[in-house]
A and B are shown apart, each in its own frame.
Chain A
C-alpha cells in the first residue's frame, strides 16, 4: 500500500509548480557508507544481509528525519511497484532487483536511504531545480547522524570504505539532471559530453547507468571520489553545470533566431501529436514532451504549464502507466493508456504561438 501512497502523494519533483527551473530539473547528492565488520551486500550471505538491514533500519528509524518514513522491503513488493520506484529515482535498479534490499524514504521524498544496495547504505538527497549546496547541507547532517548511530567503515588514508573502488573516499556522487534539447537539436551534445568526460564528469541518460537520453535529459555527475574534499567535488560539478546551462541557453537563443517560425512549428507539431495521438510509445512521448518543455521555457507555451509536462514525463513511464491502470498491460495497451492520459492532461493547454 505504501508504494501507491508514495507515488500518489505530492513530492518535490512532481508537484513544485513555482520552484521549477527551465534547464536543471533536479539536484542529487548520494553518499555511499558501510558498516565496519560486515561483508558488503554482494558478497554477504542472506542472514548477514538481514542482520545489516535490521541494524541500519532500526538506527535510521530513530532519526528525526525518518519519523513516519516509508520503509520498503524490496522482496515484499510486486515487480511493478519496484519498477515504478526505479522510474521515480527513489531506488536504484540494482536495489530493486537485488537480494535483501530495503529503502527508507522520508515523507516528503527528498531524503532516502537504500540498504543493501552495492554498499550497506546509500544516502540520497534530491532537490527540484538546482540546489547543490542545500542538498549537500542536508546530506552532511544526515551523514553526521549516521556516523554517530552506526559504526561506519572508515580509514584515515582512504576515507569511507566502499564495495567498489570508484566510490571510495568521500563516497560522494553529486549530480544534476539537465534538460538539453537546444544542444541536442543543434547537434552539439556529443561535443559537450566529451568535454565533460575529459574533465572527470560522467554524462548518463535519465535513468542512470546504461540508459539512453530519453527526452534529451542527461544526468551529469562527478566520477572521482578520492583525493578531493567534498567541497572541491561540488565546486567542480557546479562550475560545469553552470557552463552547460549557459551553452544550452545560447543554443536555444540561436535556434529561435535562425529557425524562427520553423522552431515554433517543431513545438506545435509535438503538441499536435501529444494532443491527438491514440497510441503513444514511451520514446515518442518523451521526445515530444521534451519539445513541449522547451516551448514552456521559451514562452511558446505558458511557463506555468511546465509542471504538467514534467509530471507527464514521470507518469508516462511504463510501470507508472500500468500501476495507474491497476494491472499489467501489454505494450499496445500501455501506449493507448499513455496517449489517453496525455490527451487529457493537455486538453486545457493553449495553442503554441511565437513568443
Chain B
C-alpha cells in the first residue's frame, strides 16, 4: 500500500489499511499507528464513519461553516464530531450524503420529545408503528405487538 495515504481519522500518514464489505458495499479505512492503537481498528463504527468521512472530503469543494458555533467543514472532517445541534443545518450539504452512508435511512421514525410532536411527525411514526406491529405479529413477538398496539392507539387519538 502506498505510503502517502492519510489516516481517515486524523490525517497523519496511515500505516494500517483495512477493508470491510457490508451488504455488498466496500469500505476502505486507513489509520495511522496512533489512531489504530486507540482501538480504531477494532471498532466497527470507525469503518462506518471514517469510510464515509473519507469520501465526503473528496467530494466537497465549498467551505461551509456553522453560523451558531463556527465549526467549519474542515473542523468536522478532522474531528468526526459536530460542534453543536445547529451544525446539522449549517453543515447539512456535507452531512446529508454522509448520513446516507452510515445510516439505514434519512428520516427519523422514532420517538419525539413532548414539545416536538407535530402532526407530520406523528403521522410518520404511526405508519412506522403499523409496519412494525405487522412484523412483530409475524415473528410472534406478542409483547412488542401489544406495546405497539398501545402506541398506535395513542398516536391515532392524538391525531384525531
- Where the two chains meet, the residues of A that have a C-beta atom closer than 8 Å to any C-beta of B are 34-40, 42-43, 118, 133, 140, 143-144, 146-148, 151-166, 168-170, 172, 197-198, 200, 202-205, 209-212, 223-232, 234-235, 238-239
Known contacts A225-B103, A231-B132; is-contact A155 B40 (Cβ 8 Å): no
Known contacts A156-B121, A235-B135, A235-B136; is-contact A227 B106 (Cβ 8 Å): yes
- Give the size category of B's interface with A: 35 or more
Task: Verify B45–A165 contact, CB threshold 8 A.
Answer: no
Task: Verify A209–B81 contact, CB threshold 8 A.
Answer: no
- Listed A/B pairs (25) with beta-carbon separation below 8 Å: A39-B69, A143-B111, A144-B114, A147-B114, A155-B88, A156-B118, A159-B108, A163-B81, A164-B81, A165-B52, A165-B95, A169-B108, A198-B21, A202-B44, A205-B42, A226-B99, A226-B108, A227-B107, A227-B108, A229-B110, A231-B132, A231-B144, A231-B148, A232-B132, A235-B144
Contact of B79 among A36, A37, A42, A169 (CB under 8 A): A42
Cα of A190 to Cα of B86 in the assembled complex, Å: 41
Nearest-neighbour CB distance to chain A for B105, whole angstroms, equals 2
Task: Verify A148–B144 contact, CB threshold 8 A.
Answer: no
- Chain B residues with CB under 8 A of A223: 44-45, 48
Known contacts A166-B48, A198-B23, A232-B132; is-contact A38 B104 (Cβ 8 Å): no
Contact of A231 among B45, B84, B88, B147 (CB under 8 A): B147
Nearest-neighbour CB distance to chain B for A116, whole angstroms, equals 13
Q: Return the CB mask of B79-91 against A: 1 if under 8 Å, else 0.
A: 1111111001000
- Chain B residues with CB under 8 A of A166: 45, 48-49, 102-103
Contact of A43 among B84, B110, B120 (CB under 8 A): B84
